[in-house]
Amino acid sequence: MKIQVLMFYQDDPKKCTAAKMIKFGLAKSIKKITSKSLVLDPFSEHFLLPSEKTLANTIVGIDCSWNLAEQAFSKKFDGIKRKLPPLLAGNPVNYAKLNKLTTAEALSATLFILGFKDDALKLLDKFKWGHTFYELNQNLLDEYSKIESESQIDDILKDYGLSN
């Protein structure tokens, strides 16, 4: 599975997880998204499901500031848009906040849910706090990697006390 990142350069370059993934050859920077790419979009109407592993051979993360996310995602991107089921951030900036993931966390979670666990963990290894993200979400990621429909996500969240 190829990993690509569309960069908006809105955050501190020293803390940018996407830039680090590109530097270490774990992702490729792109300027345009193809229609056959799986695009991580926190505002999508649909959650990512494990069965969608065959939808695309490329995962695209949009690297932008959470403060400017609505603006960044209001742009019309090609691709198959999916949001991740709720997860806790392991990064120091948004530690334990629900759904405030870095680009690296989001891409790692996507790989895990789609069945590429080793690749997901390899990506997290590049970050001092990467193991924290995995430890916080290990059970959720295991559950999400087995679901067959979006309706199962609510049941999982209730089981973990994360539902409204």
> In the chain, pLDDT over 70 holds for what percent of residues?
99
Domain carrying residue 25 = 2-159
- For residue 101, being part of any structural domain is answered with yes
Q: Residue 47: beta bridge partners? A: 83
Predicted pLDDT of residue 164: 55
> In the chain, pLDDT over 90 holds for what percent of residues?
81
- For residue 164, being part of any structural domain is answered with no
Predicted pLDDT of residue 29: 96
Q: Which string of b and e fits 3-39 if b means at least 16 CB within 10 Å? A: bbbbbbeebeeeebbbbbbbeeebbeeeeebeeebbb
Kindly report, residue by residue over 14-34, the tens digit of the pLDDT.
889 999 999 999 999 999 999
Rounded to an integer, the average pLDDT of 32-55 is 94
pTM over 0.85: yes
Asked whether 55 and 49 are in contact (CB, 8 A), the reply is no
Predicted pLDDT of residue 81: 95
- For residue 35, being part of any structural domain is answered with yes
- For residue 103, being part of any structural domain is answered with yes
Residues 83 and 93: their CA atoms lie apart, in Å, by: 21
Predicted pLDDT of residue 68: 82
Predicted pLDDT of residue 47: 97
Whether residue 65 is predicted with pLDDT greater than 90 in this model: the reply is: no
- Which of 93, 87, 111, 116 lies closest to 17 in space, CA to CA? 93
pLDDT band, very low/low/confident/very high, at 71 (cuts 50, 70, 90): confident
Quote the number of domains for the chain: 1
Kindly report, residue by residue over 95-132, the tens digit of the pLDDT.
999 999 999 999 999 999 999 999 999 999 999 999 99
- For residue 72, being part of any structural domain is answered with yes
Predicted pLDDT of residue 25: 96
- Average pLDDT across the chain, whole number: 93
- For residue 132, being part of any structural domain is answered with yes
Cβ neighbour number for residue 106 with a 10 Å cutoff: 24
- For residue 71, being part of any structural domain is answered with yes
Kindly report, residue by residue over 3-16, the tens digit of the pLDDT.
999 999 888 888 89
